Amino acid sequence: MANSVTTDRNAAASSTSSKPTGDTLTVVDNRTGKQYELPIKDGAIRAMDLKQIKTGPDDFGLVTYDPAFMNTASCRSTITFIDGDKGILEYRGYPIEQLAESSNYLETAYLIIFGELPTKTQLETWTEDIKAHWLLHENIKKLMEGFQYDAHPMGVLISTVGAFSTFYPDAKQIFDESSRRKQVHRLTIAAYAYRHSIGRPYVYPDDELSFTGNFLNMLFKRTELKYKVSPVLERALDILFILHADHEQNCSTSAMRGIGSSHVDPYSAMAGAAAALYGPLHGGANEAVLRMLQEIGSINNIPAFIKKVKAGEGRLMGFGHRVYKSYDPRAKIIKRTADQVFDVTGKNPLLDIALELERIALEDDYFITRKLYPNVDFYSGLIYQAMGFPVTMFPVLFAIPRTSGWIAQWAEMLLDPDQKITRPRQLYIGQARRDYVPLNKRG
């Protein structure tokens, strides 16, 4: 997964004309003729090692320019491994396929946050701890009642999470392990946000149900005394939550780390992460897939749609990924899960369009040469819609499981001695220094 190296990453890079050594990068600055040996560790050089490359004493030193962090590692992490070329995704070394097959969300969340699969006793304690914090502070519910009835559930979620630190001031004790652990348990507000959006009364949690079963209960229970959870839908939601639990240094996770680097409480950082997830290029992508399938409307219209995409007049949503250059391993699992869900709910009428669109795209050289394969968003929206979730809940359903990844990444950042408050450099390309001109003298 990582290159085996022996070079000490802390060894100072130095200007030299001696013979290059192993595990280093030789850089020749053609501006000055100087040669530098930069240590390589874990397949990377340290950006600060470039600072010594200068044209003169007044030169700040060389920096890298990398908009959107296309090829910049901002941290070392032990949480999630991705090999995009081979379609591999692992949490703490465990393949996503095995976790989706054999684990459940709470067990996977424990793994992501604490680094190892729990023992039977640890899992029981963890589950009981989660249940003990399902009930929210009554004033939080009053806060949520203040939102307009048709407020977007994700907007309600972001605002309420941000307010959590005012209700739970112990969250500011970020270097207290017991305090950090406690904050993981308090994120059941998504169900309340949904109930508020449809004008229904809040449903209190049922301790006899599983995490995902209870979530379905809090969302969909009506007047019945006991909500009956479909085991197929419960398991499907568990799988979807596992697949979305973490995904390395994506936009929202980077936001969580960046905000958290100021040592703010986790709820404030998580509100920022959730806001990043709210964007249509991140957590809203599966909604875009549904809109695309609805616009296509019929299998007969697919060839014309594909032609428009290839002509640059449209976009094939749910295909391609910044990281994966082969079939997204999560998409394969979701596709299998979709069949099981539709056996219970009835087939989503858009499924046939999706299947045919995938078949045509995977046989077309235009998409094959560009390595555009289905990603996790291509089928997840169809499943959520079949289960009865409105489109506005899709980013919320993304945010709920991702909280375990956000918390794990945040805690790892806090305890990493290399980390400091995030402060990227910029390349200033604006005006040179100039003097102020009084208003009456400006043309």
| Residue 128, φ and ψ in degrees, nearest 5 | -65, -35
**Angle at the Cα of 309 from the Cα atoms of 305 and 312, rounded to 5 degrees:** 140
The tokens describing 276, both together, are 């990043």
The residues facing 24 across adjacent strands are 39
Q: Which of 83, 282, 364, 416 is catalytic?
A: 282
The tokens describing 143, both together, are 């806060």
Q: Which of 321, 339, 343, 364 is catalytic?
A: 321
Q: 3-state SS of the chain?
A: CCCCCCCCCCCCCEECCCCCCCCEEEEEECCCCEEEEEECECCECCHHHHHHCCCCCCCCCCCCCCHHHCCCCCCCCCCEEEECCCCEEEECCEEHHHHHHHCCHHHHHHHHHHCCCCCHHHHHHHHHHHHHCCCCCHHHHHHHHCCCCCCCHHHHHHHHHHHHHHHCHHHHCCCCHHHHHHHCCCCCHHHHHHHHHCCCCCCCCCCCCCHHHHHHHHHHCCCCCCCCCCHHHHHHHHHHHHHCCCCCCCHHHHHHHHHHCCCCCHHHHHHHHHHHHHCCCCCCHHHHHHHHHHHHCCHHHHHHHHHHHHCCCCCCCCECCCCCCCCCHHHHHHHHHHHHHHHHHCCCCCHHHHHHHHHHHHCCHHHHHCCCCECCHHHHHHHHHHCCCCHHHHHHHHHHHHHHHHHHHHHHHHCCCCCCCCCCCCCCCCCCCCCCCCHHHCC
282 has catalytic annotation: yes
Q: Which of 377, 416, 418, 435 is catalytic?
A: 377
Residues forming the active site: 282, 321, 377
